[in-house]
Amino acid sequence: MIASLQKLVVHAWQFVFDHEVSPLRNIPDVAIRHYVLQALGMMWALAFAVATGSYAFMAASLVGHTVLIAAAAITVATWTTAAARPGLFLSDATRPHHARGGDRQGD
């Protein structure tokens, strides 16, 4: 029982914080993957700071709940996009030549 709970906690932690386990693993550029993970981390820190501040002054704060729900929605959307279209996170300089429309004149 305790071992399975420990495995669940470890898996959940890795799924959220390990770029090689989360859906962000589908983004081929490790630097972009790291940036997206950092941006999500900053967003969550801000979301919890706003929510905690709101809870300290109003127990049933709509603003705090809205920020947390929005943060969860943005995270799910980012993970879904990383799994379905990882090339979307690449800049034009790091995309493969054929993805930039290399058949245009001047390319």
- Residue entry with tokens 């929005």: 70
Tell me the average pLDDT of the chain.
82
DSSP 8-class letter at 98: G
Q: What is the pLDDT of residue 62?
A: 76
Give CA separation, 3 vs 8, 11, 16, 18, in Å: 9, 12, 20, 21
Q: What is the pLDDT of residues 8-48, one digit of tens each?
A: 988 888 888 787 888 888 999 988 988 998 999 899 999 98
Side-chain-side CA neighbours of residue 51 (13 Å): 14
